[in-house]
Structure 1
């Protein structure tokens, strides 16, 4: 299956959404901190990103892992990079 490409922010939001809709997370009312995805060389499945160090996730390892693996199967991290010297990216030339 071909993966769709998403930005780091979009991947972070999608993993967070899936974690926070899990019944046990909703029931406990816990807020799990989801880190930014980090680019990696594509693994055996072709996934080019990972996440580490989820916050406030003790006891929710299965939920976090399931959400992460599901999103990794569907999406790859966009390889587009913006100018790191510019806070707002490049402005159009006039």
Structure 2
């Protein structure tokens, strides 16, 4: 039984994990796609080393989530050269997520609107491990 599969979708790659290898209650697939198979595998390796929060999300550092946002932005011409706002810590919301991205700031706002579905997917999968405001 394989612990990991890399799947190509429209020229980009996602990882899919066997349920026995996921964090308890955590996601079993990458919430965003990567430009190369190696990049997807590298994110998988980080996922495996990341602790769970005990509530269904994997804990990631602010820098890791920023990197994932930049990876998601690669697919949009509106995001070319854009400066993305950093994830901000918050008290867990009703869904259990402890971070947000201010969608009304940044360069340009069109890029953030494009990234909205990626942000929602990342928020469902990951919580910030560091509570720096």
Q: What is the TM-score with the length of structure 2 in the denominator? A: 0.49
The separation in 1 between residues aligned to 2:119 and 2:67, in whole angstroms, is 11
Following TM superposition, where does structure 1 have runs of at least 4 consecutive aligned residues deviating by more than 6 angstroms?
none
Count of paired positions: 76
Bigger-Rg structure (1/2): 1
Q: Which one scores higher on RCO, CA 8 angstroms, separation ≥ 6?
A: 1
Residue 63 (structure 1) aligns with = 114
The separation in 2 between residues aligned to 1:17 and 1:78, in whole angstroms, is 20
- Write the deviation string for residues 61-86 of structure 1: whole angstroms up to 9, x where unpaired: 542211111111110001366xxxxx
* RMSD after superposition: 2.2
Residue 62 (structure 2) aligns with = 8
- Is 1:18 equivalent to 2:18 in the alignment? no
SS of residue matched to 1:5: strand
Q: What is the TM-score with the length of structure 1 in the denominator? A: 0.67
Residue 34 (structure 1) aligns with = 84
The alpha-carbon distance between structure 1 residues 77 and 54, as it changes in their structure 2 partners (threshold 3 A), is same
- Which consecutive unaligned segments of at least 5 residues does structure 2 have? 1-24, 26-55
The 8 Å contact of residues 47 and 72 in structure 1, kept in 2 or not, is answered as yes
The 8 Å contact of residues 32 and 55 in structure 1, kept in 2 or not, is answered as yes
